[in-house]
Structures are given as structure tokens and as C-alpha cells.
Amino acid sequence: MKYIKFLSLISLFFVGIISSVFAADLKVGFIYVNPVGENTGWDYQHDLGRKAVEEAYGDKVETSYVEAVPEGADAERVMTQMALSGHDMIFATSFGFMDPVMNVASKFPNVKFEHATGYKRSDNVATYSARFYEGRSIIGHIAGRMTNTDTIGYIASYPIPEVIRGINSAYLAAKAVNPNIKFKVVWVFTWFDPAKEADAASTLIDQGADMIMQHTDSTAAMTIAEERGVFAFGQASDMKKFGPRAQLTSIIDDWAPYYVERVGKALNGTWKSEDTWDGLAPGMAAISEFSKEIPEKIRKEAQNLHDAIASGTIHSFTGPINKQDGSAWLSTGETADDGTLLGMNFYVEGIEGDIPQ
Amino acid sequence: MDFASIDPTTIIYNLMIAATPILYAALGELLVEKAGVLNLGVEGMMIIGAICGFAISVETGSSYIGFIAAACGGAMLSVIFAVMTQYFLANQVASGLALTLFGLGLAALLGHSYTGQVPPQISKLDLPILSTIPVFGKMFFHHDFFVYFSLMLVLFVWYFLTKTRLGLVVQAVGENHDSAHAIGYSVTTIRFFSILFGGALAGLGGGYLSLIRVPQWTEGMTAGAGWIALAIVVFSSWRPWRLILGAYIFGGITILQLNLQAIGVNIDIALLSMTPYAITIVALVLMSVNKSKKSLGAPGSLGKSFIKVS
Amino acid sequence: MIKLTPRDHQSKLLTAITPIIAVIFTMICGGVLFWILGKNPFEAIKLIFWDPLMSETFSDYARPQILIKASPLILIALGLSIGFRANIWNIGAEGQFIMGALISACIGLAFYPLENRFIFPLMILGGMVGGAFWAIIPAILKSRFNTNEILVSLMLVYIAEQALASASIGILRNPEGSGFPGSRNLNHYPSTSNPELIEGSGIHWGVIFSFLAIWFFYYLLKNHKFGFQIKLFGDAPRAASFAGLKTEYIILLCFSISGALAGVAGMFELTGPAGAITIDFNVGYGFTAIIVAFLGRLNPVGIFFAGLLMALTYVGGEISQFMLGIPAAAIQVFQGMLLFFLLSIDLIVKFRLSFTKQNFISRKD
């Protein structure tokens, strides 16, 4: 037995050397801000995208990743080392990687960079993000139709445009079908703290919410919703495992098609720096299967809304909409421009409470 | 703003659950510190407890066995710390920090295949008669066994430290290890087992987190709870009873601020989250000012290695 | 039974050899770990320890990067080691690091967009004052009321973290940052930037500063009166007070030195590699530096090597992640093991071990 183990060690050693000789056409690196995890979450979804790339191109592409990379100096070092080790393309999957990406990209003009959710670009830095707010419209609609207490609980992470946009979008959709709707928003100031998210969910339920929405990464709130017998909407991944009855649907981050497409373009030489902000239409923001708990009729409405948003006939932010302070934002029929949406820092009229500053 | 919609009953009910994991961990650390050892590895031991408890209860289908496993896991990790600091005389602060690093990594590796699993449910233990008392029944007597168990352990640790001979020896060792040694007590052995006890309790706290409070396993799920436990020990001025108060205040502030937010009160969350720590510092100062009650202060030999030369 | 006798003189040879033994132990245990995870252990160890230093691909870039990663660790650890020698326990360097960065960011951004070459030195001063201010709180409480400084300094870390979060979404938030949390990037404005001093290396003022600090502390401890006072205070506080040393003075001085160094490390990190204040700007340098101080046996030269070793495991760990697919958690475990061995093996340096038969008279326990 010992000898076999020894031999296998020796052979591993050689495999290591040999494998570095055969190089793929394109080496693609990914950096994640958190550990990838196993089932759910922002980073997990990006890693699914990475696996899709591997599957799509087989031997032609080699991928690798570094997880739990702190934003800032460490990210810059990791990306530089990736570039040095022959990576041709690097996906940086967190907003905080923005300045490091720009710095590294300027030093490696031949390496293609893709930065998620940022707003700085250059010849070899493309940006991409998803219109998750379109998904929020759909869950807002379902919640507005299904709530018995007219109270929706919303677990928010940090007061950034992305999160505020989601709250507004869900609120408007819910308000459209239920004029009495009330949103209770709780800011937990973390993307990931299962215990705190669980507390937030409990609190909201105690305060009368019978629908829980979240813009945080852990599955704790879903578990609590299941336990307490209310409904909830998943975030980033399908969280059905954690709330088989509670989950009505999830907004899913599906990066796979985008990653496959961009790597494909890099392979055939047509890659260009672009800014992509895709929504339900190509399925970058997707809606998971509707639960059987949603009545047939509402399920159909939600599907129709989904299709209408995807086809562009309905925009999540269509006037008349006033800001929270009563000032006019969009006139009747007017739709929000992307610039305002990207920097959104106000609630729409009807939402109570203040955005923490 | 509708303050009426905040129900004190549910707040207290929730904060008891929120406080239980940190209460367990803090109680263990209290005894460790009473023995004169500062173990900053609470976070690491908690998360190891969380994964061990979770994995075993998923495998066996019993939460109770899971809790035993959580305690064992925490204790096993603390053995590393105990050996390093008691036998190899490594610095306690540095060793504790290393233990946290190691524990967080190890838990993530161990837990790789357990994300997304559902642990067996544990039923609430409605205490007969008591749980039917209006208001108080729901607040205090409608919890699961392990909430009561944490309180019983507080009683036990208090009794042990103040009423038993061995407990007094532990305190003597923590207060002045040289004189304790001179009288003939084995400082090393006493500290070794205190550390193990602390590890076991930190493990239980982690187990409560993954089995009851959040019911799931996620990498890094303790998210700083171990550090709060360390603060509570100080807050309590090393008195088991005050530990309950401390844990409930620390847990309560989170629950309260979430409730206030939910009814739309505009609060400065950062400021509110700072307050318990600031209160702890004030409490520390008040204790140290009051020299007449020396027993209130930190154990005399806290954090110092005991070097027995012969 | 094993008997411990303190060594009168620590052998230079042992001091040099023991860390190597610890590293070898770690390589063996770590190798087993990587093997269990299905990775090639030789390849993994090589990627962590060898490639950043020697490989053709990485070394040119990684060597200075190790210095850059190590410099805040070394700066903080040097300051802490002074206190630790005197038995004064500041474990709140993480908080002082944050406060140094926050104060210097406030100064830098207050002048924005003014261009003036005095702003940067003023920020350095601000970083020192910020860190020292945060460190002096436990020092005053300790000297005035004899409050346990370990615990107060630890509590102040949590408060500093909240202040950081509050500042990055509040007063310091970049007005042109589309509402995202975090300040302006100080590196983008010449007056507040901590520039690259040697083209392509990334070496910044913080690295230079940490080298100067090593030299300074080496001299201080070896040749200056203060060095002896510290040592005396740590070994025999009573004798020190007979010798006329004021306890308050030593406590305040140790805390201000360590706080100022942690603060200035925060300032250099902010203006250099990090660039901006963000919610999780602090990545644990303050805590890791405590370990570095002990790994370096509280000796300036030792701290230099310990800092480099820690930095090497970070840099090498990342390389092994993307080259070999080793999970980040395994790297953490590996670092934990390295620290366990390094901290434990110190025993041999400090004490002479002799094996005796169990003897109930000499060993009462």
C-alpha cells in the first residue's frame, strides 16, 4: 500500500510538470471576492459561468480562479500574477475590483479584462452587469398580488444604487397591483452574515410581513421564511433547497451565456471592449421556476410581465413616477434613462423611511 | 412611525435566540480567562463547532448528537491551542489568532459537501404551565432545549467557580499562577482542561448557530460572533450572571435596531453598533476604578504564560 | 519527564535553524493536506514557496510584491514589539491602522483638489496622529485606572471598524462615485498619492519607511537607553520603578509608538496599494502583525524575516490557487499550521530541554 501511495505521489509530480507543457489556446482567469461556496450566492453564480466556459470550449480553453480576494491591493496583485502566468483574459467579478482592473489592464494591453458592475472602461477593459431590477418587477408583482397583510419585508445590504433600484422596482410593481402595499426595508450593512440576515427576516415577519425579499447573499432568510411559514424570494441563485415551500421564485444571476459568448469572441479575435447591461431578455437576470404555491392566474400574469419586459414593451420604471419627496421624476409614459438608474440614490414616492447616509 | 407595531414579547423572544450562540461561547471563554488564559481563537472554535454539529446531525438525523459533536469539535480544536500555550509556552494572543485562521479554513474544507443540506428540526420545548402564562410564557418559556441549557450552564459555571473547591483553585490559578503553583496545584493541567471546556462551549455556540438559529451550514457563517463573545466576557466583568445580561444586550441591540428600521425610524446604524463596545470600555474602566472590589477586575495572570522551571 | 531550563544566552544557530525546521514540518503536514485534497503536494509547495521567489514567470513581479505586502506587517509589528517587550499588550493595531488611514484620508480629501507638495507629508503626520490617538486611549485608561489594555484596545478595533463603515458610506463617500460606498481614489491625485518609486516594482514610500523603521528600532533596542528601559520594565517592573522609571511614561510611550506606526502603515496602504477608503479597507494587517511580531521573536531583524515569510505565503498561496486550483480555505489551514509550528518551536530556543526520569520531588504536578 505504502509503495502505491509513494508511486502515485511521484507520478503526480511528473503530471504536474507535463501538464504545464500542453497549453490551451486561451487561458481565462476569474477572481472572486468571497469563497465560491457550494450552492448559492454571487460568487457561486460566477463560478457556474466559468464552468460553462470550460464545457463549451473543452480543451481550447483553460480556466482558473482565485477566491476570497480582498478588494484593493491584493486584487491588483492577483490579477497581475494571472496576467504574468499567461492568462489571456481575466474576469473580475466584484465592483470593488474596479481600480485594480484599470491599473493592471494598463500594464497588460494584450490581456482582455471583463469587470462586473463597474463603470470604468478602456480598450482592453469591458464592463458588464445585469438588470436585476427587471426581475425585481416580477417578484414585486407576485408579492403584491399574494400578500395577505399588504406588508412586504425587504432585507437590503448597503445603500448603493443597485440595491435602491431593486427596492424601487419591486415597490412600483407591487403598488401597481395592490395600492395598499407597504414596504418595510431593513438595512443590514453586510452582503453576507447568515445570523444577521436570519434576525432581519424574523423581525420583518414579526412586524407583519408575509413576503420576504432579500438583496443579500446568504440563504438564511429563506430558511427562516420556511420555518415561520411565510413566502420569500431567492437572490442570485435558486434557493429552493432552503425553502422548498417558502420560495415563490428566485432572481437568478446567470452569467454563463455572457461568459461563453465573450470567451468565444476572444477565441476568434472579435472581442471588443463594450459595456453590457443585459436583463431578462438574454436571461442574464433570470427568474427561476414559479412555485406551485403561486395561484395559476398570478403565475400567468407574472409570466406575461416577464415576457413584456423581456421584449421591451414594458419598462420597470415607466412614468408617472414621483420621487419620495413628492417631486416629479418621470412624466406619464416616460421611461427612466440608464444614467439615472445607474446612480439611483432616492426612493420613489410611497416608500416609507430614509435611505441611510 | 408606528411604535405600537413593535412587540416587546417577540423582541425578547428573538433576542434570546440571537444571544444564545454568543452566550455559550462567552461562557466558555469566561472560564478560560478565569484560569488566566486568553484564547482569541473563539471564532475558529465556534465555526468548527458549527460544521461538526451540522455534519453529524445531518448524518445521524439527531440534533442532540449533533450538539455533542459540536462540543467535541470545538474542544478538539482547542487542544491545539492548549498544547501550544501550555506545553510549548507559545504566546497566547498570537496562538489564538492563528487558531482562528486555522479553524475558519478547516471548517470550510470540512463543510464542502454540507452546504444546502437541511438539518433535522429541533422542537420547541414548551415548559408545562409556565409556557401558558400570557406574555411571559411566550417570551421565556417557549424556547428549544438549548436556550435553557445555556442558562443552566451559566448556573453551573457560577456554582463551580464560587462554590466548589476546584472552581476556587481555577480562580487562584488565574489570579496568580506562581502562588497557585507554590501551594502545589498543577497550573498547566488546570489550564489545559479549562481551555478544553472553553473549546467545547464555543463549539456548542457554533452548533446552535448552524443547527437552530440559522439552520444551515455556510462557509464563514459565524461572521464575527466569536469576537463579540470575547467582548461580552469583558463586559460581564468575568461574572457568569452578568454574562447573560451582556449577551442579551449585545444580541438585543441588533434585534432592536432591525425592529426600529422596520418601522421606519431613521437611526445611525454605525453609531448604534458601536455602543455596546463603548459601554464595555466604560464598564471596564468603572471596574478598575473601584479598587475595593478587586475581584471585579481581570484575572491577574490573564494572558501570561506559566513557566515552570525546576 | 521533560525538564525546562531557561537558556542564559540564546544560541544564534538555534535561532536561525528552528524557523527552518518549522517550515519543513509545515511543508510535510501541508503536503499531506494538499494530497488529501487531490492536489500534487510537491507542485503546491513549490508554487507557494519557490515560484514567487525564483520562478521565471513570477519572481520579477512577486519579489517586490512580497516586500509591499510585508511592509505594513513589519511596520505594525515593530511598533507592537516595543510594547510586548515591556509586557504592555496592544492588540488593537487593526483599529489604529484604520484610524490612521481615516484621519489621513480626511486630511487629503479636505484639500482636494488643491495641488501642494506639503499635503502628503501632512497626511503622513495625520496617519501617525490618528493611530497614536486611538492607541493612547487604552494607554491612558491603563495608567490612570489600571484598566486591562488588551481588552480596551480590542474593543476599540470594533469601534474603528464601525467608524470606517460609516465614513465610507457617509462623509468620505466619493461624490463622483455613482453612489457607491468608498472614497475618491487618493492615488489618482498627485498630492495625495503614494507613488511607485521604482518603475514597475510598485515599491512605495511605505516600504522605504519600514526599512528605516527596522534600522531605527534595531539601533534603539541595541544602543539606546530607551531599549534597556523597555527591557527592564518588561523583565522586572519593580526594579524599573526603583530605577526611577515612571510606569505611566513607559505605557504611554509604548502605546503611542505602536499606534503611530500602525496608523502610518494604514496611511501608506491607503494612499498606495489600496487607493481609497472602502468598507472593508482593513484586511487584518493589525492582527496578522501580532503574529509576525512573535514569529520574529520581538526582534527587528526577526520581524523583517517573519513579515517576509507571511507575505510569501499570501503571494504564493494566490499563485497556487490559480495554477493548481487549491481552495483558499486550504491555504488558510496551511498558514495556520505554519504559525502553529513556528510559535511552538520557540520553546527550544528559549529553554534547554533535558529528559529526566519521572521525579515526584522536582515535579509536583
- Answer for the pair C74, C216: CB distance below 8 angstroms, yes or no: no
Q: Does this chain's domain A25-130 share its CATH topology with A133-253+284-342?
A: yes
Name the pTM for this structure: 0.87
| Residue C337 Cα, gap to closest chain B Cα (Å) | 7
Task: State whether C322 and A66 contact (CB < 8 Å).
Answer: yes
Q: Which of C57, C315, C322 sits opposite A29 (nearest CB)?
A: C322
Kindly list the averaged pLDDT for each block of 10 residues, start to end, along chain B of length 310: 71 87 94 92 95 92 91 95 91 90 91 78 72 72 85 94 91 86 87 95 94 85 86 86 88 84 78 81 78 62 71
Q: By C-alpha distance, which of A313, A317, A308, A312 is closest to A337?
A: A317
Smallest CA–CA distance from B269 into chain C, residue: C166
The domains located in chain C, with CATH, are 69-319 (1.10.3470)
The cell for C168 is: 465610507
> Class assignment of domain A133-253+284-342?
alpha beta
Q: By C-alpha distance, which of B264, B207, B185 is closest to B71?
A: B207
The pLDDT tens digits of the residues spanning A100-151 come to: 999 999 999 999 999 998 888 999 999 999 999 999 999 999 999 999 999 9
Residues forming a β-bridge with A253: A285
Smallest CA–CA distance from A203 into chain B, residue: B259
| CA–CA dist B50, B107 (Å, integer) | 8
| CA–CA dist A113, A75 (Å, integer) | 13
| Phi, psi dihedral angles at B245 (to 5 degrees) | -55, -50
Work out the pLDDT band at A36, boundaries 50, 70, 90.
Answer: confident
The pLDDT tens digits of the residues spanning C301-323 come to: 999 999 999 999 999 998 988 88
Q: Most A CBs within 10 Å: which of B261, B272, B273, B274, as the mutation test of the A interface?
A: B261
Average pLDDT across chain A, whole number: 88
3-state secondary structure of C156: helix
Residue A111 has a CB neighbour count (10 Å cut-off) of 22
Q: Which amino acid is at C82?
A: I
Place of cell 409556565: B130
Smallest CA–CA distance from A30 into chain C, residue: C322
Q: Which residues contact A230 (CB under 8 A, 6 or more apart)?
A: A205, A209, A210, A211, A212, A246
pLDDT at A141: 95
pLDDT at B47: 95
Q: Most B CBs within 10 Å: which of C37, C94, C340, as the mutation test of the B interface?
A: C340
HSE at residue A225, side-chain half, CA atoms within 13 A, is 32
Q: Chain B partners of C80 at a C-beta cutoff of 8 Å? A: none
> Class assignment of domain A25-130?
alpha beta
| CA–CA dist C309, B183 (Å, integer) | 43
- Answer for the pair C272, C101: CB distance below 8 angstroms, yes or no: no
Farthest-apart Cα atoms in chain A, separation: 79
| Phi, psi dihedral angles at A273 (to 5 degrees) | -70, 125
Place of cell 423572544: B13
Q: At what angle do helices B240-262 and B269-289 cross, to 10 degrees?
A: 160
| Phi, psi dihedral angles at A59 (to 5 degrees) | -70, -15
- Answer for the pair B309, C6: CB distance below 8 angstroms, yes or no: yes
| CA–CA dist B40, B78 (Å, integer) | 11
Q: What is the DSSP string of A327-340?
A: -EEE-TT-B--HHH
User: Is the preceding omega at residue C113 within 30 degrees of 0, hence cis?
Assistant: yes
Q: Which residues contact A339 (CB under 8 A, 6 or more apart)?
A: none
Average pLDDT across chain C, whole number: 86
CATH number belonging to domain B3-296:
1.10.3470
Q: What is the DSSP letter of A41?
A: S
Helix (H) or strand (E) holding A51: helix A42-57
Q: Which of B216, B224, B258 sits opposite A186 (nearest CB)?
A: B258
pLDDT at A15: 44
Q: Which amino acid is at A161?
A: P
Percent of chain A residues topping a pLDDT of 90: 63
Task: State whether C57 and A84 contact (CB < 8 Å).
Answer: yes
The sign of the dihedral angle between the CA atoms of C288, B81, B104, B277 is negative
Return the domain boundaries, chain A: 25-130, 133-253+284-342
Smallest CA–CA distance from A151 into chain B, residue: B262
Q: At what angle do helices B225-235 and B269-289 cross, to 10 degrees?
A: 40
Residue C82 has a CB neighbour count (10 Å cut-off) of 27
The pLDDT tens digits of the residues spanning A5-29 come to: 444 544 444 444 444 445 678 999 9
Does residue C361 carry a pLDDT above 60? no
| CA–CA dist A279, A132 (Å, integer) | 6
The cell for A347 is: 426612493
Q: Which amino acid is at B90?
A: A
| CA–CA dist A346, A11 (Å, integer) | 61
What is chain B's length? 310
| CA–CA dist A229, A238 (Å, integer) | 19
Q: By C-alpha distance, which of A232, A214, A209 is closest to A293?
A: A232
Counting runs of H as helices and runs of E as strands, what totals does chain B give? Answer: 12, 0
Task: State whether B214 and A37 contact (CB < 8 Å).
Answer: no
The cell for A216 is: 443579500
| Residue B239 Cα, gap to closest chain A Cα (Å) | 26
Q: By C-alpha distance, which of A246, A210, A206 is closest to B13?
A: A206
pLDDT at C365: 38
| CA–CA dist B56, B63 (Å, integer) | 8
| CA–CA dist B18, B201 (Å, integer) | 16
Does residue C93 carry a pLDDT above 90? yes
| CA–CA dist C326, A245 (Å, integer) | 37
Going from the C-alpha of A86 to that of each of A103, A111, C26, C323, the distances in angstroms are 18, 9, 30, 11
- Answer for the pair C256, C135: CB distance below 8 angstroms, yes or no: yes
Q: Which residues contact A214 (CB under 8 A, 6 or more apart)?
A: A154, A155, A197, A201, A221, A222, A232, A233, A234, A235
Residues forming a β-bridge with A65: A30
Residue C20 has a CB neighbour count (10 Å cut-off) of 10
Q: Which residues contact A289 (CB under 8 A, 6 or more apart)?
A: A238, A249
pLDDT at C16: 80
Q: Which amino acid is at C323?
A: M
Residues forming a β-bridge with A157: none
The pLDDT tens digits of the residues spanning C35-54 come to: 988 888 898 888 888 888 88
Q: Chain B partners of C163 at a C-beta cutoff of 8 Å? A: 270, 274
The cell for A227 is: 420555518
| CA–CA dist C70, C214 (Å, integer) | 12
The segment with the largest mean pLDDT, out of B200-204, C175-179, C242-246, is B200-204
Q: Which amino acid is at C110?
A: A
Q: What is the DSSP string of C197-234?
A: SSTTT---HHHHHHHHHHHHHHHHHHHSHHHHHHHHHH
SS (H, E, C) A195-262: HHHHHHHHHHHHCCCCEEEECCCCCHHHHHHHHHCCEEEEEECCCHHHCCCCEEEEEEECCHHHHHHH
Q: Which of A80-89, A320-329, C239-248, C341-350 has the lowest mean pLDDT?
A: C239-248
| CA–CA dist C266, C272 (Å, integer) | 10
The cell for B138 is: 411566550
- Answer for the pair C230, C155: CB distance below 8 angstroms, yes or no: no
Work out the pLDDT band at A2, boundaries 50, 70, 90.
Answer: very low
Q: Most A CBs within 10 Å: which of C176, C188, C313, C321, as the mutation test of the A interface?
A: C321
Q: What is the DSSP letter of C299?
A: -
The cell for C181 is: 460606498
Place of cell 433570470: A286
| CA–CA dist B81, B16 (Å, integer) | 30
Q: What is the DSSP letter of C274?
A: I
**Interface of chain C toward chain A, CB-CB under 8 angstroms:** 35, 40-43, 57-58, 61-62, 65, 68-69, 165, 169-170, 178-182, 185, 187, 269, 272-276, 278-281, 283, 314-315, 318-319, 321-325, 327-329
Q: By C-alpha distance, which of C207, C196, C239 is closest to C311?
A: C207
| Phi, psi dihedral angles at A148 (to 5 degrees) | -95, -25
User: Is the preceding omega at residue A320 within 30 degrees of 0, hence cis?
Assistant: yes
pLDDT at B3: 67
pLDDT at A182: 93
The pLDDT tens digits of the residues spanning C250-305 come to: 899 999 999 999 999 999 999 988 888 888 888 889 999 998 998 888 899 999 99
| CA–CA dist B32, A16 (Å, integer) | 47
Q: What is the DSSP letter of B83?
A: I
Q: Which of B18, B112, B263 sits opposite A38 (nearest CB)?
A: B112
